[in-house]
Amino acid sequence: MRRLFVAGNWKMNTTLSSAKSLAAEVAVEVQKTQPRVDVAVCPPAPYLLAVKEALGDSKVSLGAQNAYFASPGAYTGELAIEMLQDVGCQWVILGHSERRQHFGETDDLINKKIVAAASRELGVIFCVGESLADRQANKTEQVLETQLAGGFAGVDVGLLGQIVIAYEPVWAIGTGVTASPDQAQAAHLFIRGWLAKRYNPPAAEEMRILYGGSVKADNAAELMGLADVDGALVGGASLKGELFLPIIRAAATLAETK
């Protein structure tokens, strides 16, 4: 039984003050309802510590949006895994399409980051997803396969427990267009099948695969209710309590039945 996971990716948004109040709102909800789901928020790096404090002793975990694979040293501007752990991060988002698109992150670089984070016991939310052009050219599975093979290169089966996959079709991110339930389920099933072949069927069964791309309160339950969808990575709708809390509640309700 895979535990549902809802993570908010705040991207390069919020201020110190709005980040703290948003975190506090999420913490209060989770503290109050004790949902049988995992919840994480991933604020911009400068706000990690303040958000950690605002989360208090609630069960909401803290995630970063990027990390570098090397040990602390001369890498101006980068974030070491040890530093993220030092300020209380349990997760890091890696392979996000915005990092691939705007910062030229390759499968090879993403792989080095995944291996470094997972082997140091920092949880990884590993994002994969095809562009609109890929989908229109019927290349979705091919692209997913390349990204998965790249990301998991040299990743031992023993590290899989540190990794969650997020399927995020690029054409659905921030666009208001979500994958249809059929499209989402098919992609998730493909990813799980790939894992079964690359590792083994029980490991594939255990892997949580989140859906991301314009998840909102009104589509969250349907998407997270799909057989191979184990939660959501939420961007825009994670920036306001009134939008994010209903998604957590939808997951909590599903957790009773799924």
Residues that bind ligand PGA (CB under 6 A): 9, 168, 173-174, 212-215, 233-237
Distance CA 162, CA 179 (A): 26
The smaller minimum CB distance to ligand PGA, of residues 155 and 215, is found at 215
CB 238 within 8 A of CB 244: yes
Least Å distance between CB 58 and ligand PGA? 22
In the complex, residue closest to ligand PGA by CB: 235
Distance CA 82, CA 77 (A): 15
Q: Among residues 96, 98, 105, 188, which one is catalytic?
A: 96
Least Å distance between CB 175 and ligand PGA? 7
Distance CA 67, CA 78 (A): 7
The smaller minimum CB distance to ligand PGA, of residues 35 and 212, is found at 212
For residue 178, the SS3 value is coil
Q: Which of 244, 242, 218 is nearest to 233 (CA)?
A: 244
Count the Cβ atoms, other than its own, within 10 Å of residue 50. Answer: 16
Least Å distance between CB 94 and ligand PGA? 12
* Residue 170 DSSP class: G
The smaller minimum CB distance to ligand PGA, of residues 151 and 212, is found at 212
By residue count, the chain amounts to 258
Active site residue 242: no
Burial pattern 11-49, b for ≥16 Cβ within 10 A else e, equals beebeeeebbebbbbbbebbeeeebebbbbbbbbbebbe
Q: Among residues 29, 98, 168, 188, which one is catalytic?
A: 168
Least Å distance between CB 156 and ligand PGA? 27
The smaller minimum CB distance to ligand PGA, of residues 73 and 176, is found at 176
Least Å distance between CB 170 and ligand PGA? 9
Active site residue 168: yes
The smaller minimum CB distance to ligand PGA, of residues 43 and 80, is found at 43
> Residue 13 is encoded by which pair of tokens?
């948004």
CB 248 within 8 A of CB 26: yes
Residues that are catalytic: 96, 168
